[in-house]
Amino acid sequence: MKQEVEIFVYGAEQICASCVGLPSSLDTYEWLEAAISRKFPEQSFKIQYVDIYDPPEAEKIRQFAERVIEEDLFYPVVTIRGEIIGEGNPRLKDLFKEMEKYGYRAEE
């Protein structure tokens, strides 16, 4: 049975110092949303962009945004159910593999 996943993309307007030359966090968020929709068409999921310097009030989200800053994680940081799936330049293969654990199936 498929469980709908919620994907969080934590990032900032400023590109991570170690990630110069890579797309912005917001561009990565938009790219991931489009890629996931193509890979798993008509299978619902949620994806949310979180600005690490202006996170929403939700405690868990705010705490993780603070962790990204405090631990100098390479952003964007992509999580599913609180687990880091990728950071800096997330790999689609890793994200798809994690989604398949929750019952998502690629359309052939």
pLDDT > 60? residue 1: no
Segment 55-76, tens digit of pLDDT:
999 999 999 999 999 998 988 9
* Cβ neighbours of 83 (radius 10 Å): 8
Domains of the chain and any CATH numbers: 6-101 (3.40.30.30)
What 100-104 contacts at long range (C-beta under 8 Å, 24+ apart), as own/partner pairs, is 102/2, 102/3, 102/4, 102/5, 103/1, 103/2, 103/3, 104/2, 104/5, 104/40, 104/43, 104/45
The pLDDT tens digits for 5-29 are 999 999 998 776 666 777 889 999 9
